[in-house]
Structure 1
Amino acid sequence: MKTTWVAAFALALTTCGAPSPGGGPALGGPAVVSDPTLDEMDALVRKKFYSEAVLEKVQWPKLVAAARSKLGKVRTPEERVSVLQDLLAGLHTSHTEYLPRTEPKYWELASIFEEIFAEVPAQCPEKEKRLPSLPIAWQDIGVAWKRIEGRWFVGGVFEGGPAAKAGLLLGDEVVEADAKPFEPVAAFARRQDQTVELTYRRTRGGALAKVRVVPRTSQPAKSLQEAMRASARIVEGNGARLAYVHVWSWTGDTMQQELESAIARLNKEKPSGYILDIRDGWGGAAPDYMDIFHKDVPVLVSRNREGQEFRVDAKIRVPAVVLINGGSRSGKETMAYGIKKHALAKLVGERTAGAMVAGSAHCMPDGALLYLATASVQVDGEVLEGRGVAPDVEVPFDIRYAAGRDAQLDAAMRALSAQATTSLQGGPK
């Protein structure tokens, strides 16, 4: 069975909680709600959550009782989401979230775990009722969405996707889709190959503008893999040729193989430095993935009688920068920790998420995905949960209204370009 360090927990809303049979609560008592999802969630937390001490500390039964009472007062699906999200937030633990199908992370998580659901039926009972048809697919435009203070921002644009073709940029705030309030799943659902008009704001307090996009149907996990592949390129600055690749997801060997293939392609361009971007997206990296920095592996070069050269080299052998931020989670933090400890590259950006426990995903009765922390994790004996990994070079960056500019990437390019120039001039290395 595959394992992953991905964090997320999803709920797909269908109806609000209904009052329990019998005409309501006893006189003077709180409202009591029968909600199968809450019931199953409570049972799974009591049975599988990694720390009984945490459950005791937060008084989990009281949190559940309070949630039941609140569900008796909700009037909208959105209010129900908030109640259940707040309940899980009370555990103060990563890999324990609550997301409706109306949010992008639901679809990405479901896609990442779909093979596990097939292999472990207990994690997705009544799969046909609780899970969308397999393989998981949705309509999207190739954007890593970020919700900040209730607004949706472009947190990343996948190279070659509909959003990139339409001209959306990192930091754009998307306000409307076809003149309706923007929601990144609802806006494109069942709209593949149809035009959707987005209203967006590029600068803080600036005027609204419009752009037309054509959503595609895609499998989220494969889209993340394709986005990594498409991101791999050579960037030039101050006379230096730098290799760049963005690891949007590191969940499993397939992603590692894709990364190694990208490194091998870029190495043929003989870059003077590397920028490995592990900001945002999903974790999942196993510790041995750090082998990409193993310089002792020989470089194999062969030439045929026509003079064609074939190079086999999937290692980073030149100075490197690894970009991190608060969206670098889980397995990516294992990588950041090891890279920093062994001085394999310079970490640039912001402290990682501090989301370092192991978890399992479970399908809920209403179509939810519960991703629940089920085991503690230490890295070389250290606990990174709640702490994260600090960068070597701190570069704060608020993506909102960035208009495509990336302060952290710029800092990485400056550092590597200066190092490459010094080396070319015969200065200290």
Structure 2
Amino acid sequence: MDDRRTGFARSLGLVAVASVISVVSYAAGALGLIPWANHQVSRLVERVPQTNEGARGLQTERLEEVMQAIQSQYVEEVEPETLNVGALRGMVQALGDRYSAYFTPKEFSAFVQGFEPTFSGIGVTVEISQKTGLLTVVSPIKGSPGEQAGLRTGDAIVEVDGKDIVGMSLEEAVALIKGPKGTQVKIAVKREGERELLHFTITRDTITVPVLDYKMLDTEAGIGYLQLFEFSKKGTADQVKAAIADLRSQGMKRLIFDVRQNPGGLLDEVVEVASLFVKGGDPVVHIVERGKPERALTSTGTAAWDLPLVVLIDGGSASASEILAGAVKDTRAGTLIGEKTFGKGSVQTFWKLKDGSGIKLTTAKYLTAGRKSIDGVGIEPDIVVPNPDRIYPGHPGDPQLEAAVRHIKAMTR
């Protein structure tokens, strides 16, 4: 695991951005550590127990025998590199972990580019659904071509440019969806409640991923509103602090903090953001790694939070967003309103291999501040408010935001 703790979920997440951004790992989706591609495989090998020479020889011999059999006997000719990539993918897929993957050099390069502040694509965060096994939209980026075309959280993408992508890996599917600015991609979607597939033709564009937006919702009641889109950039916590300071200067006496559709980001940033609301020294999140004692990352807060707080969550809140929500709920720093979160409680680390390819492996799990595992489960809000019409967070008629305003007016702390 990267000591810098670079990122939870878009994969969270794994994030794979397709430009699309994939959670979590937005990884680093959706937790999904968003790793930076400066790890060489030698660093990984140093930490892996080595098999004995005899076992290694047998493994190599078996691989060679299978490859020779395919190349000499299979009904059609197969390129050796196709077999090599298949073997590498299969090795990682054998883990049975949907967040671990092998990338070809081209895929890894595209994947890393997806973590840049700007990229070319349709601008939606996607993940392979644990329930359906389908490539599913976790959240569209505000103002992106995907959002403007009408893609929604929960949409399952089943075809890209007429090609069936059911059963494809996240990385393969994302590679089909992404592309240069100005080009078009045709997407077919299964949507809950719709009997027929929905078809979208979307023009790819340059996507600039915003960090946050904020404003005073009700100056008379002193209600401030801060919408955080992701935790994936260094300095996110500083921007949140500056926004809150500005809202206080405008007379804020109550805060609604919105992490709906937020697929995650950097671990150190969410710990700093949570430290605004969690008492200094108290746990924000617990990290569980193989062969190591469980450890807590604690609040660095220096001043107690002194205002009523509501945190808005939904099924697009993943990874780092769930760490924040869990910390607020477990420490009773505020009230969670909305719908159950995505449910990503694992950490991914990425390595760039010598030939430019790469691997993404789950290297840790995390527990909330109260030591609760949410992987595949999610976090339940204190007050459940559905959004049946899928109104985008903060847009007119947003029922969850309206419920938060009503509730926070009655809160004393």
Instruction: State the TM bucket, normalised to the shorter chain.
Output: 0.5 to 0.7
The equivalent of 2:401 in structure 1 is 413
The equivalent of 1:48 in structure 2 is 47
The equivalent of 1:353 in structure 2 is 344
Rounded Cα–Cα distance in structure 1 between residues aligned with 2:139 and 2:179 = 20
1:165 counterpart = 2:148: yes
Q: Cα gap change, 1:336/1:420 in structure 2, threshold over 3 Å: closer, same or farther? A: closer
The equivalent of 1:364 in structure 2 is 353
Q: Cα gap change, 1:340/1:84 in structure 2, threshold over 3 Å: closer, same or farther? A: same
Q: Is the 8 A contact 1:196 1:212 kept in 2?
A: yes
**What is the aligned-residue RMSD (CA, Å)?**
5.4
Q: Identify the match of residue 97 of structure 1 among 96, 100, 107.
A: 100
Structure 1: segments with no counterpart, 5+ residues:
12-39, 113-134, 297-314
What TM-score, normalized by structure 1, do the two folds share? Answer: 0.55
Q: Is the 8 A contact 1:103 1:185 kept in 2?
A: no
Q: Identify the match of residue 205 of structure 2 among 204, 216, 220.
A: 216
Give 1:207 shift: 2.8
Give 1:195 shift: 3.5
Q: Is the 8 A contact 1:337 1:389 kept in 2?
A: no
The equivalent of 2:90 in structure 1 is 83
Q: What letter is aligned with 2:382? A: V
Q: Is the 8 A contact 1:6 1:282 kept in 2?
A: yes
Rounded Cα–Cα distance in structure 2 between residues aligned with 1:352 and 1:45 = 28
Rounded Cα–Cα distance in structure 2 between residues aligned with 1:82 and 1:413 = 43
1:188 counterpart = 2:172: no
Q: Cα gap change, 1:362/1:379 in structure 2, threshold over 3 Å: closer, same or farther? A: same
In our comparison, the structure showing a higher alpha carbon Rg is 1
Give 1:274 shift: 0.5
Aligned-residue sequence identity (percent) comes to 14
Q: Cα gap change, 1:172/1:360 in structure 2, threshold over 3 Å: closer, same or farther? A: closer
Rounded Cα–Cα distance in structure 2 between residues aligned with 1:203 and 1:390 = 22
Q: Identify the match of residue 263 of structure 2 among 281, 290, 298.
A: 281
Q: Is the 8 A contact 1:146 1:154 kept in 2?
A: yes
Give 1:351 shift: 7.6
Give the 3-state SS of the residue equivalent to 1:164 in structure 2. Answer: helix
- The number of equivalent residue pairs is 327
Q: Cα gap change, 1:265/1:385 in structure 2, threshold over 3 Å: closer, same or farther? A: same
- Residues 267-311 of structure 1, C-alpha deviation per residue, up to 9 Å, x if partnerless? 648585403316652332323332433899xxxxxxxxxxxxxxx
Give 1:139 shift: 2.7
Rounded Cα–Cα distance in structure 2 between residues aligned with 1:322 and 1:278 = 6
The equivalent of 1:404 in structure 2 is 390
Rounded Cα–Cα distance in structure 2 between residues aligned with 1:66 and 1:385 = 42
Give the 3-state SS of the residue equivalent to 1:186 in structure 2. Answer: helix
Q: How does 1:17-416 map to 2 (within 5 A)?
A: 47-48=46-47, 68=63, 72=67, 80=87, 83-89=90-96, 97-100=100-103, 107=110, 109=112, 112=115, 138-148=119-129, 149-181=132-164, 183-190=173-180, 192-218=181-207, 223-224=208-209, 226=210, 228-229=211-212, 232=214, 243-248=225-230, 250-251=231-232, 253-263=234-244, 268=250, 270=252, 272-277=254-259, 281-286=263-268, 287-293=271-277, 317-323=307-313, 328-329=318-319, 331-332=320-321, 334-348=323-337, 349-350=340-341, 352-355=343-346, 360-365=349-354, 367-372=356-361, 390-391=379-380, 393=382, 404=390, 412-413=400-401, 415-416=403-404
Give 1:420 shift: 3.6
